[in-house]
Amino acid sequence: AGAFSAMTLVQQVLSGPAAATVTSVLLQPFDVLKTRVIAALNTSPAQQQQRVRLWDVAKAVYREGGTRALWRGTVPTLLRIVPGSGLYFGSVRVFSDASRSLLSIAPSSPLPVSVTAVTGFASRTIAAALTMPLIVIKTRLENESRRGTEGSSMREVARQVLRERGWRGMVAGLVPTVLRDAPYSVITLASYSVLLRHLSGGSYSSLALASSHNHRTTNAVKGGDRWRRRLAPTI
């Protein structure tokens, strides 16, 4: 908690996408297999009677394109998740700092849970709205994979959406996406806030500053106040 709180806005904006990149690359094979399993379950009624085993699907994907096939679709996934993560973490920081300023809350004091919840909702909504075109393109590419008609590039899919529905088509599904993602963010941030307050005995500062004990000891005279401000949590 202390290390995260000591990060600057730029560091938080960059660390979110970095973490999302690692997670997406490691888990992409499971996303590919999930898409293939869903495609198999959406076939004819006669084929639906057959049991779809994950191992068989994995072997089929490997036979089609080798190991690289398990990471098919990684680029569209990263183009959707990486900007979204940066926007989300950056928005959380900005809204948190603004809330502290408006409510005159000290950096070492926790934000009210209600403010944290609103911060999560607003941040996720902004991230979803700005990355919605990438979500639309990724969904189209996944649908092609399920139908077995892969081959279109992201640029081709974007042009097709614009021809069919114009710019409104690039934000199709925004409301359902916000209704799905924003509550998740609200619950996550609010739960984090409550648990952190509980674990720190009612005060964030004791838990956040504990991780930097050696730094504060070295700079106790000249830099004490500066370190406390830097290590104060933002959410």
Burial 21-34, CB ≥16 within 10 A → b, else e: beebeeebbebbbe
pLDDT the model gives residue 42: 66
pLDDT of 35 above 70: yes
The model's pLDDT over 48-106, given as tens digits with 9 standing for 90+, comes to 556 678 888 888 888 888 888 888 878 878 887 888 899 999 999 999 999 989 999 88
pLDDT of 208 above 80: no
pLDDT of 214 above 50: no
Q: Does residue 180 sit in helix, strand or coil?
A: helix
Instruction: Quote the tokens at residue 162.
Output: 């614009």
User: Angle formed by the axes of helices 113-147 and 154-165, to 10°?
Assistant: 100
Higher pLDDT among residues 41 and 121, named by residue:
121
Instruction: Quote the tokens at residue 75.
Output: 């680029």
Instruction: Quote the tokens at residue 109.
Output: 């004091």
Report yes or no: 31 and 75 within 8 Å, Cβ to Cβ: no
Instruction: Quote the tokens at residue 63.
Output: 């036979």
pLDDT the model gives residue 37: 81
User: Whole-prediction pTM value?
Assistant: 0.66
- In order, the DSSP letters of 144-177 are HHHHT-----HHHHHHHHHHHHGGGGGGTTHHHH
* pLDDT, mean over the chain: 76
Please tell me the distance from the alpha carbon of residue 208 to that of residue 155, in angstroms, as a whole number.
Answer: 46
pLDDT the model gives residue 213: 36
pLDDT the model gives residue 115: 92
pLDDT the model gives residue 21: 92
pLDDT the model gives residue 167: 87
Contacts for 172 with CB less than 8 Å, ≥ 6 apart:
136, 165
How much is the average pLDDT of 224-232? 44
The model's pLDDT over 181-198, given as tens digits with 9 standing for 90+, comes to 899 999 988 898 888 888
Higher pLDDT among residues 9 and 42, named by residue:
9
